[in-house]
Structure 1
Amino acid sequence: MTLSSCILITIPVCISAILMQTYFDSRKYKRIPHLIVLLSFLFPTLSHAQYIDNENCRISFKSYENHQGKLEYNKEGIIYQFIPNSNAWKVIIKNNTDETVWLNWKQAGFIVNGRASGISLYPFTTDEAPLETIKHNQEINRTITATNLITEKGISKIYHKKKFRKNGRTSVTIVFPMTVGNKPQFFHTFNFTVTKDN
Structure 2
Amino acid sequence: MQQRTTGLPEFRRRRRVAWVLAGSLMMAGPSAHATVQVLPEMTLKREGRTITGAKAIRADQTMQEILTAFDRAERALERQDLSALMQFYASGYNYHGLHVADVERIWGEVFEHYRALSSTHLFSEMKVVQTEEGPRVELTCTGGLYGTEAQSGARITLDSWFQEVHYLVRDKNGWRFLGNRGDAPRSAPFSSSPHHPLF
TM-score normalised by structure 1 residue count: 0.27
Q: Quick check: which has more Rg, 1 or 2?
A: 1
TM-score normalised by structure 2 residue count: 0.27
Structure ranking higher in helix proportion: 2
